[in-house]
Amino acid sequence: MPAITSSAPGKTILTGEHAVVYGYPAIAVPLPDVQARVHILANPKGISGEVFIDAPAIQLQSMLNDLDASHPFRILLDIISQEFGLEKLPACSIKITSSIPLASGLGSGAAVSIAIIRGVSSFLGHPLPDEKVNAIAYEIEKIYHGIPSGIDNSVITYRRPVYFKKGDLIEFLNLKSPLNLVVANTGIMAETREIVEEIHTAVEQEADKYHNLFRRISRITDESRHFLEEGELTKLGRALTENHHLLQELGVSSPELDQLVDVALREGALGAKLSGAGRGGNMIALVTEDVQDAILRSLKENGAVNAFSSVVSV
Ligand code: PMV
């Protein structure tokens, strides 16, 4: 069996995070500038079931069978084996690397799952179709997120901008113009699962208040869809900033995220917001090319531990 390499991009949510968990729409785009990669090498001398996992980013070096039965990698590889009617995978080593920051709202967990599904199914000689890849990745998202909407696995599987509503068919968006984004990391890791659970409790206690907020967010998402399809980037920028203000009201921003949003806007971004679950992780700014470098520099000088620019192509 030859060596196999596979990859999956990061993602960012343009509008609608959190609301999307409750059936409201959200828009997400792939971020190909950051990637999860998987390299699989057959071990012809090993016996069936001897699978070695090497994931330096999470300090994991272990035989698959030595991982706890509840470990997401173990569950994922079991699901893939079942999919192929195999009791055990052929002996191999699976190396997982990623340039997507962990627990930072850029889809690192989903990207790693998807790169593994694509890599292992190719290794077994039958690359799985996107629908299957997406469905399996969603099962693993439940372990990472508790009650995930499914937007992360969808945008990363299909590598296209999506308008996503839980339970509906995924709609792919055709952008009229490319988007120049600057992505800046607060350096604070935040567990999506915990934040989503906290919001869930709050929604149960004060349903009217939160659904009212989600409806306002969903109006922004629908307007943003129109702005994306018409190439109205100035209006899109304003919508993103408005979405940030509603996420502040929801209680998922943080002083560090607010600071990065302020810096980006002050330096001339069309709009800026936190992206993903919030509290930490990343901020995104929609920018024009002429101010992109200045914004990037200023973010790094004013609190971002890392920042990069990314173009979402049409
Ligand atoms: O994984 P994150 O941090 O990008 O969060 C995903 C977005 C949420 O709406 C908060 C959760 C979800 O499952 O949609």
Q: Which residue spans within the chain are E strands per DSSP?
A: 4-15, 26-42, 51-55, 60-63, 92-98, 162-164, 171-172, 179-185, 271-275, 282-287, 306-312
**Ramachandran class of 57: left when φ > 0, alpha when ψ lies in -120 to 50, beta otherwise:** alpha
| Pair of tokens at residue 24 | 């409201």
Residues with Cβ < 8 Å from 293, sequence gap 6 or more? none
Q: Which residues line ligand 1 (CB under 6 A)?
A: 13, 17-18, 20-21, 105, 107, 145, 148-149, 151-152, 192, 196, 276-277
Ligand 1 pocket, mutate which of 34, 106, 140, 151 (most atoms under 8 A from CB): 151
Residue 297 Cα to ligand 1 middle (Å) = 28
**What are the pLDDT digits (tens) for 285-294?**
999 999 999 9
Residues with Cβ < 8 Å from 34, sequence gap 6 or more? 9, 10, 98, 99, 100, 101, 106, 308, 310
Residues with Cβ < 8 Å from 313, sequence gap 6 or more? 175, 178
Residue 292 Cα to ligand 1 middle (Å) = 26
* pLDDT of 2 above 90: no
pLDDT value of residue 144: 84
For ligand 1, atom 14, which residue shows the shortest CA distance? Answer: 149
| Pair of tokens at residue 251 | 């209680």
Spatial contact of 52 and 64, defined as CB atoms under 8 Å apart: yes
What pTM was computed for the model?
0.95
CA distances from 239 to 119, 221, 296 (A): 38, 8, 21
Ligand 1 pocket, mutate which of 11, 12, 15, 20 (most atoms under 8 A from CB): 20
**What are the pLDDT digits (tens) for 261-270?**
999 999 999 9
* pLDDT of 147 above 90: no
Give the model's confidence band at 1: pLDDT under 50 very low, under 70 low, under 90 confident, else very high: low
CA distances from 116 to 41, 93, 124, 244 (A): 13, 12, 12, 33
Pick the closest to residue 276 from 28, 66, 9, 7 (CA basis): 28
**What are the pLDDT digits (tens) for 169-212?**
999 999 999 999 999 999 999 888 999 999 999 999 999 999 99
Residues found in the chain: 314
